[in-house]
Amino acid sequence: MLRSAPSNGIRFRNRRDAGRHLAQKLAHYANRSDVIVLALPRGGVPVAYEVARELNLVPDVFTVRKLGVPGHEEFAMGAIGSGGAYYLNTAILESLHIPRAEVRNIIAAEQRELERREHLYRGSRPQPAIAGKVALLVDDGLATGASMYVAVAALRRRDPASIVVAVAVAPADTIESLRAEVDEVVCCSTPDPFVAVGVWYQDFSQTTDQEVRELLTRVAARTFPD
């Protein structure tokens, strides 16, 4: 899908192209056995795949689910992640007067979807070993950063040596907020005005569950074709 974009930021051809740009900024992590690349499904998987391929690193997925505002689901009021971690934007909840009961129902529904996706993506494969490693959390872009915040919270429970957030595009204020939460933030582009993540991709078509499974199958076999 082609979108128009302002001229003050990088416009990526697709997510794999974004991954190659991001890999250049992460080159100091190349060929390190103590580094693992963790993609936020689904859009982050093709980006992370390319980062891992370029830098000879091991990639995997780290599943989180956005909690959308009722009636405006594309607008995040929070997110949930593996291991029971959650993030709620209390300012949004209070300003929109969203009932707590409705929030609980949304969390329960997204928890079921999170569990379904983890089983679909991972199958019988065990969770990756993260303790003591440098974890690169990769996504195709951030807007509010809600999903990334909960991913960071959930990941801390796995005792990594350090956490690096690596994304293709995001607003500058979101990036600055994240710097206080993790050890390093790497971002290819922080355009202003930001508008939306998809504006900065020529092709921002949805990544399917099947594509995620195929990429992870290649990873398990340690094959990285172009």
Q: Is 186 helix (H, G, I), strand (E, B) or coil?
A: strand
Banded model confidence at residue 1, pLDDT cuts 50, 70, 90: very low
Q: Write the CATH number for 210.
A: 3.40.50.2020
User: Does residue 9 form part of some domain?
Assistant: no
| Model pTM above 0.85 | no
Banded model confidence at residue 100, pLDDT cuts 50, 70, 90: very high
Q: How many domains are there within the chain?
A: 1
Q: Are strands 86-88 and 72-81 parallel, antiparallel or unpaired?
A: antiparallel
User: Does residue 51 form part of some domain?
Assistant: yes
Q: Work out the average pLDDT over 188-198.
A: 95
pLDDT at 83: 72
> Is 80 exceeded by the pLDDT of residue 223?
no
Q: Work out the average pLDDT over 2-9.
A: 52
Q: Note the Cα 66 to chain centre separation in Å.
A: 11
Query: What is the span of the domain harbouring residue 193?
Result: 15-63+130-220
Amino acid at 163: I
User: Does residue 25 form part of some domain?
Assistant: yes
User: Does residue 93 form part of some domain?
Assistant: no
Percent residues over pLDDT 90 in the chain: 62
User: Does residue 54 form part of some domain?
Assistant: yes
User: Does residue 145 form part of some domain?
Assistant: yes
Q: Is 124 helix (H, G, I), strand (E, B) or coil?
A: coil
Banded model confidence at residue 2, pLDDT cuts 50, 70, 90: very low
User: CB 2: neighbour CB atoms within 10 A?
Assistant: 8
> Is 80 exceeded by the pLDDT of residue 56?
yes
User: Does residue 117 form part of some domain?
Assistant: no
User: Does residue 27 form part of some domain?
Assistant: yes
User: CB 199: neighbour CB atoms within 10 A?
Assistant: 18
> Is 60 exceeded by the pLDDT of residue 7?
no
> Is 50 exceeded by the pLDDT of residue 141?
yes
